[in-house]
Structure 1
Amino acid sequence: MELFAVPDVPEIRPGDDLAAIVRDRVDLREDDVVCVASTVVSKAEGRQADLSEFPAGPRATEIASTIGAATGEEKDPRFAQAVLEESVDLLMESPFLLTETRFGHVGVNAGIDRSNVPDHDLLLLPERPAESAERLRRELPADRVVVTDTCGRPFRHGQRGVALGWAGLQASRDWRGESDRDGRELGVTVESVVDELAAAANLVAGEGAGGTPVVVVRDFEWGDHGGSDAHFRDVEGDFVRQALRGWEYDG
Structure 2
Amino acid sequence: MHIQVIPVEGLPIIHPGDLLTEMICERVTFEDGDILCLASSVYSKANGYIRKQDEIVASAEAVRIAQKTHEDPRFVQAILDETTDVILEDPFILSETVTGHVGVRAGVDHSNIEDGMIILLPPDPMGAAAGLQNEIARITGKEVRVIITDTCGRSFRRGQTGVAIGWSGMTAIRDFRGDHDLFGHVLEITEEAVVDEVAGFANFIMGESNNGVPAVVFRNCTRWTGHDNLHFNREEDIIRKALCKK
Q: TM-score range by the shorter chain?
A: over 0.9
Q: Which residue of 1 aligns with 2:139?
A: none
Q: 1:30 aligns with which of 12, 29, 32?
A: 32
Task: Tell me if the contact between 2:54 and 2:116 (Cα under 8 Å) persists in the aligned partners.
Answer: no
Secondary structure at 1:185 match in 2: coil
Task: Tell me if the contact between 1:175 and 1:189 (Cα under 8 Å) persists in the aligned partners.
Answer: yes
- Could you tell me how far apart the structure 2 residues matched to 1:209 and 1:95 are? 27
Q: Which residue of 2 aligns with 1:185?
A: 186
Task: Tell me if the contact between 1:149 and 1:162 (Cα under 8 Å) persists in the aligned partners.
Answer: yes
Q: 1:40 aligns with which of 39, 42, 48?
A: 42
The answer to whether residue 130 in structure 2 is matched with residue 130 in structure 1 is no
Q: 2:85 aligns with which of 65, 71, 89?
A: 89
Secondary structure at 2:129 match in 1: helix
How far residue 3 of structure 1 moved from its aligned partner, in angstroms, is: 0.7
Aligned residues: 239
Q: Which residue of 2 aligns with 1:149?
A: 150
Identity, % of aligned positions: 44
Q: 1:57 aligns with which of 37, 56, 59?
A: 59
Task: Tell me if the contact between 1:48 and 1:120 (Cα under 8 Å) persists in the aligned partners.
Answer: no
Letter in 2 for 1:122: I
Secondary structure at 1:235 match in 2: coil
Task: Tell me if the contact between 1:132 and 1:165 (Cα under 8 Å) persists in the aligned partners.
Answer: yes
Structure 2: give runs of 5+ residues left out of the alignment: 137-141
Letter in 1 for 2:63: T
Q: Deviations over 1:121-170 (max 9, x none)?
A: 21111111111111100011342000001111010010001001000111
- Could you tell me how far apart the structure 2 residues matched to 1:162 and 1:186 are? 25
Secondary structure at 1:236 match in 2: coil
Q: Deviations over 1:204-224 (max 9, x none)?
A: 11121000000000000025x
Q: 1:114 aligns with which of 93, 110, 126?
A: 110
Q: Which residue of 2 aligns with 1:232?
A: 231
Task: Tell me if the contact between 2:133 and 2:143 (Cα under 8 Å) persists in the aligned partners.
Answer: yes
Q: Which residue of 2 aligns with 1:21?
A: 23
**Alpha carbons of 1:51 and 1:92: their partners in 2 closer, same or farther (altered >3 Å)?**
same
Provide the TM-score with structure 2 as the length reference.
0.94
- Could you tell me how far apart the structure 2 residues matched to 1:118 and 1:83 are? 18
